[in-house]
Amino acid sequence: MLDGKVVVVTGAGNGVGAEIAKLAAKCGAKVVVNDAGVTPSGEGRDPAVANRMVDSIKGEGGTAIASVRSVSDWDDAHGIIQDAIDAFGRVDAVVNNAGILRDGLFHKMSREDFDAVDDVNLRGVFYVARAAAPHFKQQQSGCYVHMTSTSGLIGNLGQVNYGAAKMGVAGLSRCIAIDMQKFGVTSNAIAPFAWTRMVATIPATPENMKRLEVNRRLKPERIAPLVVALASDAGRKTTGQIFGVRNNEIYLFSQPRPIRTAHTADGWTPETIVERVLDAFAPTYVPLERSNEVFTWDPI
């Protein structure tokens, strides 16, 4: 499905990204395995991580190169795309998968932990996507797949930084789809449900035990087929959407639209809003649920 295409996958040394890179290669793509080799919290650097995955892909008969640059740096992000151009002469798909976690309750969260997560999970997505945009425009084709999360789309305890960044990714993907549509470029987001080394860092508190028990049954390789489908020529009609993948289930998420309105010919005052709007809207308020309270059934 991807014969002749060049696919860049960030955070491809482990977990979901590794499975995407491997399947893309099996489906005929030339793959740029990008991974700076950092810990799940974004510390350290180990170039061997990306190189091991490249060796694995080559061992299966695929074509791949390693890029050990960091998505969180503007120049490095442009270098990732340049690595693809230098090695293979073009770029056809960018999978923005790299991410880190630094969980903590909001009232205890440091600026450093917020900024670090934002730098990788949101700014890094923008940097890499932006680097590919001129190439996509010139060739009048291209595909972006960005990893969002139900931590942002729905909400989770102790993930203000991660949830904010991942909700930002959903908005970023949508606006890229609008801006790049005239150039034949697609942009979609996926909320992956999978047990990875990053998810394994979530504290095993009594509140999190059920969530972690379910997560351990979610296989990262189940995310890859949707990514390949979207990156293929057959996926060119799909853009601006948010999907979820949870083992054998694929979801299409709704996106915010007005669900109730209130109008007055005289304009509103704080008092009339309290009297006539808030109580009227209350029955249709979105409940303050966490992701695991929405996805309550066992993964198939």
- Domain of 137, CATH number, reads 3.40.50.720
Q: Is the pLDDT of residue 208 over 70?
A: no
- Catalytic residues, which ones? 162
Split into its structural domains, the chain has a count of 1
pLDDT at 195: 65
289 belongs to a structural domain: no
What's the pTM?
A: 0.93
Q: Is the pLDDT of residue 217 over 80?
A: no
227 belongs to a structural domain: yes
pLDDT at 297: 87
Q: What confidence tens digit (pLDDT) does each residue in 153-172 have?
A: 999 999 999 999 999 999 99
129 belongs to a structural domain: yes
183 belongs to a structural domain: yes
225 belongs to a structural domain: yes
3-class SS of residue 90: coil
pLDDT at 203: 64
Cα gap 124→198, rounded to integer Å: 17
CB atoms within 10 A of CB 245: 22
Helix/strand number for the chain, H first, E second: 12, 8
**Neighbouring-strand partners of residue 185:** 142
Provide the angle, in degrees to the nearest 10, between the axes of the packed helices 15-26 and 224-231. 50
Domain that holds residue 213: 6-255
165 belongs to a structural domain: yes
Q: What confidence tens digit (pLDDT) does each residue in 257-281 have?
A: 999 999 999 999 999 999 999 999 9
285 belongs to a structural domain: no
37 belongs to a structural domain: yes
Q: Is the pLDDT of residue 25 over 80?
A: yes
